[in-house]
Each structure stands twice: as structure tokens, then as C-alpha cells.
Structure 1
Amino acid sequence: MSTPVHEGPLEVFKALRAEIDRRSNQQQALLSLQVAGSTALTSVALANRHNVTALLTLPLFSLVFGAQWYDHRLAIRSIGNYIRDDLGPRVPGLLDWESTKPKTRGQWVGVLATYAAFPVASIAAVIALVVAGAQGHVPAWAIVGWSVALMATTVMQIVIWCFVGRPRA
């Protein structure tokens, strides 16, 4: 049972849990947009060999959606750490979910599979453009675009791998 001393931290806790919920919903929306967009662009590209250049937009969208998804992941982790380390001790026994939640062995598989949805789609699009370019179905401007897409995909990978596990200020 909460006491008046605990009401302030409990209100903060409610607001932070609402923020985690909001960010989790946005992550789900970003992942849905990524899957739907990748499928739509791939369908357009496969419908006619002259549409293969539509795949050039996929690495750009993947970069933007992936960066936003990962930003939400870092924020959720940061909020959870604040709840566990700062709010939890102020309200003993009431806010210990963050420290007592069960850790499952497969949780990283889900995170990696979700994270992989962004760069894998970009890399697949770039490979498809290379194959189509080798067959002469891609104009020269698209090869330049492909190069930019490859660099964007590489930069996304480097940035995300550099920041894995680093706390945000």
C-alpha cells in the first residue's frame, strides 16, 4: 500500500511506464512500416524489370525506420534503468518489477530478429540492384544511387553497432 511519501515517485513511475508503452507501440509501428514497405517495393520491382530502381528507396527508408526503432529501444532501456535504480529504492516493494522481471534466454533472439529486419531488407535490395545491373536492366544513374544506398546501409550498421549497450545521457 502506498503512503503519501510514495505518491510522488508512484506518479513518476506511472508517467514513465506510459512513456515506455508509447515507445513500444511506436517501435511496433516502425517495424510494421518496414515490413509492409519492403514488401510493396519488392512487389513493384518484381512486377516489371524496369521498376527495379524502385528498390533504391528501400535502404533510405530502412535507415530512417531502423534508426528510430533503435532510438526507442535505447530510451526504453534508459527509462527502465531509472525506474530500477532511482525510483525503486524510494518505494521499497512496490516498484521492483524492473529488477525482478524474468530474464528469458530467447529475448535476444527476438531483439536481433527485429533489428535485422532493417538492414537485411537494405542489403537484399542492394544485391537485387547489383544483379539487375549486371543484366543491363539498371540505368547508370541507378548505379550511383546504389552506391549511395550501400554507403547508407553501411553507415547505419556502423552507427548502430557502435552504440549497442551505451547508455544515453
Structure 2
Amino acid sequence: MADIGDDACGPLAEFAALRAEIDTRISLQQAILVLQLTTAGAIFSFALSNPSRTRFLLILPLTTYALCARHSLHHFGIVRLGTYIRESLSRRVPGELQWEDWLIAHPRVPLRFVAWANPLYLTFPGAAALALAWSAPRTFASRDDLSVPLRVGFSGIWLVGLAATALCLYLVWTITAAHRYRIPPAPTE
């Protein structure tokens, strides 16, 4: 093995630390995904066990937005770390670090339709939209004996949930945008 020299030891140690941070962020994304699935399942199970609890579904778009925002925060953090490794750190190592360049040159998703069929759409905005659709009749058209302030309050929460769901859709759209528009490189000979 060739001697890498003292000048490369610092950047290589930094690379190892950044890769560890990327791994941590990926683990946190997986934990957030599991928490979202568990939360959605628990809220749906509780709310649908009795028709009088349907309005509990109004909680789901808000919790979904919070978890989706954290998931996307880690995604964009990973992208920024990869960009830093590729554009700055790699040049300080003799022979350069090729991992990030290799990842770009060899995309993991070979089919274009897979990018828009990403399960994040179902997990985050899909669950929130289903909760809003299921709770809408009980929120707006129910004949319950709700006072006007309560009806206005539930309607306001529903509208805030709709905005949170739209934000989730936007966040997932931006996460998957890189895969939608990535054009595989031309084969080298």
C-alpha cells in the first residue's frame, strides 16, 4: 500500500468522521420512518375504533409534518455532507476520494418511474391526506351537537392540517427531485 503522507491524514480523518455522521443521519431517518408508521397506525386504530373519536385523526397531519420535516432535514444534511466531501475534502487527499463521484456516476435507481413511486409519498403526505379525508365529514358535515366555536376550531385545525400535508408533499417532492432529474452518465469506453 502506498504511503499517503502526513498531509492526507487530516482530511482522511475528517472523511471518516463525516461518513460516520452520514451513517448516523441515515439511522435517524430510519427511526423517524418507523416512528411515523407507528404513530399513524396508533392514531388510526384509536380514532377508528369508535366513530365519536374520528376527530382525533386531525392530530396526524401535524405529527406527520413534524416527522417529515425532521426526515427531510437529515436528507438535506446528508446531501450537504456529500457535496462537501466531493467538492472540498476530496481535493485535499492525494489521488482524491472517489466515493461521492462514484455514487453520482452509478445511481441506485435504474428506472425513472421508481422515483415518483417513492414510498415516502405514502408514508408522510399520504397518511396525512387519508386522515384529513376520513375526518372531513365529521369535521364539516356532522350533525353532532357542537357549539359554533368548537366547529370553527375543528375546521381551523383541519385547515392547518391541510397546509401541513401540502408542506409534507413539497418536502417529499424536493427529496425525490434529485432522482427524478438525474440523467445517467454516458457509458465510458
Q: TM-score range by the shorter chain?
A: 0.7 to 0.9
Q: 1:121: which partner in 2?
A: 127
Identity, % of aligned positions: 33
TM-score normalized with structure 2 length: 0.75
TM-score normalized with structure 1 length: 0.83
Q: Deviations over 1:133-169 (max 9, x none)?
A: 435469524333212211222244456657966xxxx
Q: 2:54: which partner in 1?
A: 52
Matched, 1:153 2:165: yes
Q: 2:97 aligns to what SS in structure 1?
A: coil
Residue 110 of structure 1 and its aligned partner are, at CA, apart by 8.3
With over 3 angstroms needed to count, the CA separation of the structure-2 counterparts of 1:148 and 1:39, relative to structure 1, is same
Q: 2:79: which partner in 1?
A: 77
Rg larger in 1 or in 2? 2
Alignment of 1:76-115 (within 5 A): 76-93=78-95, 95-101=97-103, 102-104=106-108, 105-106=110-111, 109=115, 112-115=118-121
Does structure 1 conserve the Cα–Cα contact (< 8 Å) formed by 2:32 and 2:67?
Answer: yes
Distance 2:29 2:145 in 1: 34
Matched, 1:131 2:143: no
Q: Quick one: which amino acid aligns to residue 11 of structure 1?
A: A
Q: Quick one: which amino acid aligns to residue 3 of structure 1?
A: G
Distance 1:128 1:138 in 2: 20
Q: Deviations over 1:93-142 (max 9, x none)?
A: 46211111321225963883225411111111000011334354695243
Does structure 2 conserve the Cα–Cα contact (< 8 Å) formed by 1:50 and 1:137?
Answer: no
Count, aligned residues: 165
Residue 16 of structure 1 and its aligned partner are, at CA, apart by 0.5
With over 3 angstroms needed to count, the CA separation of the structure-2 counterparts of 1:131 and 1:93, relative to structure 1, is farther
Unaligned runs of 5+ in 1: none
Q: Quick one: which amino acid aligns to residue 89 of structure 2?
A: L
Does structure 1 conserve the Cα–Cα contact (< 8 Å) formed by 2:124 and 2:168?
Answer: no
Q: Which moved more, 1:8-17 or 1:82-91?
A: 82-91
Q: CA RMSD in A?
A: 2.7
